[in-house]
Amino acid sequence: MKRLRVAFLGSGSFGLPTLRRLSAAHDVALVVSQPDRPAGRGRALTPTPIAEWAGANLAGVPLLKPPDVNAPHVVAQVHGLAADADAWVVIAFGQKLGRDLLNPRSASGRSPLIVNLHASLLPRWRGAAPINAAILAGDAETGNSVITLADRMDAGLILGQSRRTIDPDWTAGELHDRLADDGPDLVERVLLEHAAGSPRSTVQDESLVTRAAKLSRADAWIDLARPAEDCRRRVHGLTPWPGVSVTIDGRAIKLLRVRAERLAHDASPGSGMLVDPAAGLVACGEGTALRLLEVQPAGGRSMGWAEFSRGRMLPRGAVVRSEVAPC
């Protein structure tokens, strides 16, 4: 297998498996990440997952953390350090890359291949939160796409894709980790096809584009008047962040894992009433119920429903209320 010279631009943990593979199979010329940010209760400056791993494992490889990657002096520095790179790999970097930055020339006089790994089957779910969007929409399948970079977000040529069935029990965090683990094989395949002179590309069908908007804490709501399956998608699609925040009998908790069930009960449809405290069954719309499997009390750790309800004496008829109003 041909060893390539690769520059890596990334910040989030989604890119870690791919960076590990690239560092083992190829030569990493440069890593560019976001600056350290305050994190945790102490607000200590903390590197991104990519910067932390690169600093600990890639001795001698330049590591840049520019506040503005498109600043002229940063562009010149990146181009200089990556002058002999065969390819640039961009994954969850966190800043838009400008035209000047994306117009490098390698030492040989030809431009390197510049690709992005995106966590959806483009053109479905362009945007900031594709993993969450796939679960929220009830998609049966998702995957990764390796694309060229374009002026419009996630609109480049598709160079390769991988596919994965979505298990209804998975949260967005769990699907994130599985798609991250799928990334290295796909990126490797695309890079080697390019190196061999046999690249494949597909233009995205603009008529099939859907958008995955950035999430915020204002999205942490649930509408229990909806069928239980819709509620399941919302809980799993927003876990671990921003989460779904509710109160039960005045106790603030986050719902982490649930199951949709069609269950006969005498509660008003969509009332959010706890119809079976021991089983964690909540009345939803259209004669369905949501079974609470895993929750997290405010300021506490995650736990199964049986552990949470034990000793709390939750009454039948207590109402589950969303802490954030539906948009």
pLDDT of residue 120: 98
Question: Residue 23: which of 187, 145, 178, 176 has the closest Cα?
Answer: 187
pLDDT for 108 equals 63
Read off the pLDDT of residues 5-16 as tens digits, 9 standing for 90 and up.
Answer: 999 999 999 999
d(CA 23, CA 58): 8
Query: Rounded to an integer, what distance in angstroms lies between the CA atom of residue 315 and that of residue 43?
Result: 40
Question: Which residues, given as ranges, of the chain have pLDDT below 70?
Answer: 1, 106-109, 327
**Beta-bridge partner residues of 162:** 144
10 and 57 in a single domain? The answer is yes
DSSP H or E run through 146: strand 141-148
| Alpha carbon distances (Å) from 145 to 103, 112, 117, 123, 148 | 22, 19, 6, 9, 10
Question: pLDDT at position 264, please?
Answer: 74
Last-in-domain residue among 168, 187, 211: 211
pLDDT at 67: 98
What pLDDT score does 53 carry?
Answer: 98
| Same structural domain, 196 and 230 | no
Task: Record the pTM.
Answer: 0.95
Q: Report how many domains make up the chain.
A: 2
| Confidence (pLDDT) at 106 | 61
Whether residues 199 and 232 share a domain: the answer is no
Edge-to-edge order in the sheet of strand 113-118: 63-64, 27-32, 5-10, 87-91, 113-118, 141-148, 158-165
Query: Cis bond leading into 242, ω under 30°?
Result: yes
Q: Are residues 224 and 84 in the same domain?
A: no
Buried b (16+ CB within 10 A) or exposed e, 3-42: ebbbbbbbbbbbbbbbbeebbebbebbbbbbbeeeeeeee
Q: How far apart are CA 10 and CA 12, in angstroms?
A: 6
pLDDT in tens, 270-319: 789 999 999 999 999 998 999 999 999 999 999 999 999 997 889 989 99
pLDDT for position 107: 59
In order of 83, 161, 236, 287, the CA distances from 138 in angstroms are 44, 20, 10, 20
Structural domain for 259, as ranges: 217-322
**Is 327 among the domain residues?**
no
Is residue 60 a part of any domain in this protein? yes
CATH number, domain containing residue 315 = 3.10.25.10
